[in-house]
Amino acid sequence: MKAVRQGTLSRPVGRSGRRRVRATMAVLVAGTMLLTTACSGSKSASWQGGGDTDTGAAATASPEPTLSTVAVTSPAAAATGIEAWSAVKYTSDDPENTTVTVTDDEGEEVEGTVDTDENTWTPSESMAWGTKYTVNVATPAVDGKNNTTTSDFTIMKKPANLVRVTSFLGDGATVGVGMPLIIKFSRAIPEKYRATVEKKMVVTATPSQEGTWHWISSTEIHWRPKVYWEANSKVSYKVQLKGVEMGDGWYGKSDLTVDMKIGRSLIMTVSNKTKKMTVKQDGKVIKTIPVSLGKKSTPSSSGTMVVIEKKEHTVFDTTDTDPENGYRTDIDYAQRITWSGQYIHAAPWSEGVQGRTNVSHGCVNVSEAMGKWLFGKTLMGDVITVSGTEEKLKNGNGWTDWNMSYDEYKKGSYL
């Protein structure tokens, strides 16, 4: 089994305001067994004029103890321009008893992990631009003799070409059980670098939940669990892309960490057949609402969507895109579910046909009273599934992460 050890972390602030991290990567130190050999005495031949005599004495040989050989193989000694996430590679014929320590130019030890099978030390965070680091690799002392090697290298200067990394969600957000985690990049990430990018983005949920990243485009990646988030979960994701190569001389600009919460479970199910919406909270039906969906010329999309944004009062204006048939209408309690302009919203003008006839331009119409009630219940990321309409939801028309099976979704990952 591969042995990986991780050190501890402290974060003092060094000169120039640079954050430092401290840790020692060490492996167990054990004594070295000394080997001895012995010769036994023997009878010599009788000399002329004398009887048998015992001329051979017991002798003991004590060879010098053999010390483990260690050397740093990468980065090369005094190397410059090293990438900020570079691993240290070394040789040792006693890896289980080898200590690896990396310190910065102020003597502070750097947090990292040691892999005794691969003989590597890997930093836990990106190393600082333009900083010199010293590596010390040692095996246990024998008879007071140390077997130690020291090497140094310097991290590359801060690149001119940096990719900005942003999270749609911020600390403290509370969202619905269908909310995907969304990371965006200021520049397209070439395919050959996407697996490396994914490895540097770690999602942790309490309780633990299986999930995967999925590239929506070359500049956007989402993460969703295998099934809807468990209600009231705590979720944290750490994006460590500072100094990570992203192609054509571009590198990640910074790291980010987000701590957020999942709210109660709220699922909306709309049937075109019954013209009704069923609202379930934590698995129990709490309301059944009559609806009017899109008419045949402007059908609503069938598929699984989530609430993208909410506006208590807004204006729908389609006159710019359709001057002849466009309209401009004040809307209350609007909840967007597609980029193409489909919403759940209050529509007092269609209350007389809600539950019986579809008359909308693709939206889910509800009454003024039910629009207000529903608006007060929902969170961004709450799920709505519409079924039985003339048009299927196109993936990408909204946050459609749940509009495909988990097996299909995983194909969007490069790991």
Q: What is the pLDDT of residue 380?
A: 98
Would you say 214 and 222 are in contact if contact means Cβ atoms under 8 Å apart? yes
Q: Whole-angstrom Cα distance, residue 13 to residue 19?
A: 5
What are the backbone angles phi and psi of residue 355, rounded to the nearest 5°? 90, -5
Q: Mark whether 271 and 377 lie in a shared domain.
A: yes
Closest CA to 122 of 175, 83, 80: 83
Radius of gyration of the chain (CA): 34
Name the domain boundary from 224, 246, 262: 262
Which residue range forms the structural domain that includes residue 103? 4-28+68-155
Q: Whole-angstrom Cα distance, residue 277 to residue 300?
A: 14
Total domain count, the chain? 3
| Residue 415 falls inside a structural domain | no
Name the domain boundary from 262, 293, 313: 262
Q: Mark whether 12 and 150 lie in a shared domain.
A: yes
Other beta carbons less than 10 A from residue 362's beta carbon: 20
**Domain of residue 78, CATH code:** 2.60.40.3780
Q: Mark whether 366 and 228 lie in a shared domain.
A: no
Q: What is the pLDDT of residue 142?
A: 74
Q: Mark whether 124 and 186 lie in a shared domain.
A: no
| pTM of the predicted structure, to 2 decimals | 0.78
| Residue 51 falls inside a structural domain | no
| Residue 53 falls inside a structural domain | no
Q: Mark whether 210 and 298 lie in a shared domain.
A: no
Q: What is the pLDDT of residue 321?
A: 72
| Residue 46 falls inside a structural domain | no
Other beta carbons less than 10 A from residue 326's beta carbon: 12
Q: Mark whether 83 and 180 lie in a shared domain.
A: no
Q: What is the pLDDT of residue 140?
A: 86
| Residue 40 falls inside a structural domain | no
| Residue 87 falls inside a structural domain | yes
Closest CA to 385 of 253, 277, 286: 277
| Residue 201 falls inside a structural domain | yes
**Domain of residue 301, CATH code:** 2.40.440.10
**Domain of residue 255, CATH code:** 2.60.40.3710
Q: What is the pLDDT of residue 32?
A: 36
Name the domain boundary from 123, 155, 187: 155
Listed in sequence order, the residues at least 6 apart from 289 whose beta carbon sits closer than 8 Å to its beta carbon are: 276, 277, 279, 366, 367, 370, 374
What are the backbone angles phi and psi of residue 377, rounded to the nearest 5°? -95, -30
Q: Mark whether 151 and 178 lie in a shared domain.
A: no
Closest CA to 393 of 303, 293, 300, 262: 303
C-alpha angle 337/333/174, rounded to 5°? 65
| Residue 115 falls inside a structural domain | yes
Strand partners, 82: 155
Q: Whole-angstrom Cα distance, residue 345 to residue 332?
A: 6
Q: Mark whether 10 and 147 lie in a shared domain.
A: yes
Q: Mark whether 299 and 359 lie in a shared domain.
A: yes
Q: Whole-angstrom Cα distance, residue 261 to residue 252?
A: 27
Residue with tokens 């002798």: 59
Q: What is the pLDDT of residue 35?
A: 34
Q: What is the pLDDT of residue 166?
A: 97
Q: Mark whether 132 and 21 lie in a shared domain.
A: yes
Q: Mark whether 242 and 360 lie in a shared domain.
A: no
Would you say 282 and 382 are in contact if contact means Cβ atoms under 8 Å apart? no
For 124-144, give one letter per residue: b (16+ CB within 10 A) or e. ebbbbeebebebbbbbbebee
Q: Mark whether 214 and 302 lie in a shared domain.
A: no
Pull the structure tokens for residue 59.
């002798």
Side chain identity, residue 223? W
Taking only the tens of pLDDT, the chain with its 415 residues reads 444 444 433 333 333 333 333 333 333 333 333 333 333 344 333 333 334 444 444 455 555 656 678 999 999 999 999 999 999 999 998 889 999 999 999 999 999 999 999 999 999 999 999 999 999 999 987 776 678 999 999 999 999 999 999 999 999 999 999 999 999 999 999 999 999 999 999 999 999 999 999 999 999 999 999 999 999 999 999 999 999 999 999 999 999 999 999 999 999 999 999 999 999 999 999 999 999 999 999 999 999 999 999 999 999 877 777 777 777 889 999 999 999 999 999 999 999 999 999 999 999 999 999 999 999 999 999 999 999 999 999 999 999 999 999 999 999 999 9
